Amino acid sequence: MNAIEQIMRTAPVIPVIVIEDPAHAVPLAEALVAGGLPVLEVTMRTPAALPAIRAMKNVAGAIVGAGTVTNAAQLDEALEAGSEFIVSPGLTEPLGRAAKMAGVPFLPGIATAGDIMRGLDLGLKHFKFFPATAAGGLPALKALAAPFGEVRFCPTGGITLASAPEWLALDPVLCVGGSWVSPKGAPQREEVERLARQAAALGR
């Protein structure tokens, strides 16, 4: 099993985290890990993302990665901050090659068969199906997965606690990405832990 597959199999839900204030990073990570979701994707959408990754890396049990990485320069920044894996919204050849050169576990976004074929050409077999709901939902992923038996997915985008079990029931799906487990703003520890426990239980 390769490194990205191990990460994807760690928990049924990968929290997709947007950090506005670096001070929120550690309490949020601690609550998510305590609730059973150790794999944390911090999106590179805010100036607080890199400081947040650096801080979360020190939380016991956390596996911290960078999301919304769109080019090789961002990849370098994320790795310098200590990211253990990289997630991107789409797949370009320059980014795919840079991730491969860096030897970092990489989960690029795909929405079409052409995207998957481009990834396979780069030696990739694990993808984020994004934006999952807007790109056609379950029927689209079932149709996409059919010709590519060796490929595995993490659907992300529009997935909720209610819809996650349907996605997770698909054989090619190893986990889902979800923002519902990490509400924006100052983390309420008990609430985040409760949401994380509910999400972690989906894998049982």
Q: Is 57 a catalytic residue?
A: no
Q: Is the peptide bond before 131 cis (omega within 30 degrees of 0)?
A: yes
* HEC readout, the chain: CCHHHHHHCCCCEEEEECCCCHHHHHHHHHHHHHCCCCEEEEECCCCCHHHHHHHHCCCCCCEEEEECCCCHHHHHHHHHCCCCCEECCCCCHHHHHHHHHHCCCEECEECCHHHHHHHHHCCCCEEEECCCCCCCHHHHHHHHHCCCCCCEEEEECCCCCCCHHHHHCCCCECCEEECCCCCCCCCCHHHHHHHHHHHHHHHC
| Pairing mode, strands 106-107 and 86-87 | parallel
Catalytic residue among 30, 57, 84, 128: 128
Using CA atoms, how far apart are residues 48 and 43, in angstroms rounded to an integer? 10
Instruction: Let me know if 100 is a catalytic residue.
Output: no
- Exactly one of 30, 41, 84, 193 is catalytic; which is it? 41
Residues designated as active site: 41, 128
